[in-house]
Amino acid sequence: ISEEGIGALSVFLRDNSSLRKLNLSQNALSDEGGALLAHTLRRHPRLEMLVLHGNQLGAKGGLAIGRLLGANTALQEVLLWGNRLGCAGAMGIARGLAAHDSALTSLDLRNNRIGDDGLHALIHDARLVYEMKIIQLQDNWITDAGLTTIARAVDSGNFRPRHLNLFENKYSANSAEAEDLRTTIRLKYVEVKMPARGAAVIGPVAHLPQNLGRQHHVGAWPAGIAHGMAGDLFRKPARIDIGGVD
């Protein structure tokens, strides 16, 4: 979709204040088109879900999306997987989130090659990540150093997503850093799903029941899942998925 197409779409978006979901995936959307779209949506009153996966958004697009996420108080879920954000794009998103308040609860950045520096920016610079429920970071060139960043943030209480996907990155599944992260989340997470080698799984694996906040469900969980977790369940992370490439 061209900049001219986005311009025409912007007119429609400004006039359609009841829109709740917008899907522009697989449209070869560029940084320039993404910036124009983001500017149009910054004040949209009801948009809850934005799907932009499989486009051509890079560093400038990431910065524009970050500003959108900070300014729009209705947007809850954004899918950006399969773009070209890179480290600079992730940093742009982090800067936008850090500068503004946001209602975002789910961010999908799979396959964007954000690397360890992009991960660090999202965790430490973007205040929103502290409370975000779902973060998808699969296939993003995250190494053992990135796992250390996550472990320290989780241990300090500054990072507590309910679900964090780290499959298909560049860390070693058998490294000391990976084991340190496993140890950290065993102490802090409600549910743990962490393959150590290939499809092998270490630790308990289970689907969490509905209505987590009701403590009468705790007794129905498999042994080990709910140990020490009878407190404020919604404030504790639920799952980390770690694949890894040796």
Output DSSP code: residue 95: H
pLDDT tens string for the chain (246 positions)? 888 899 899 888 988 889 999 999 999 999 999 999 999 999 899 999 999 999 999 999 999 999 999 899 899 999 999 999 999 999 999 988 887 777 888 999 999 999 999 999 999 887 656 667 888 999 999 999 999 999 898 888 888 777 888 888 999 888 899 889 888 887 765 343 445 544 333 333 333 333 333 322 222 323 332 222 222 333 344 445 555 443
Burial (0-12, 13-18, 19+ Cβ within 10 Å), 200: exposed
pLDDT in tens, 17-45: 899 999 999 999 999 999 999 999 998 99
Q: pTM to 2 decimals? A: 0.79
CA distances from 240 to 19, 73, 137, 192, 205 (A): 33, 27, 11, 6, 11
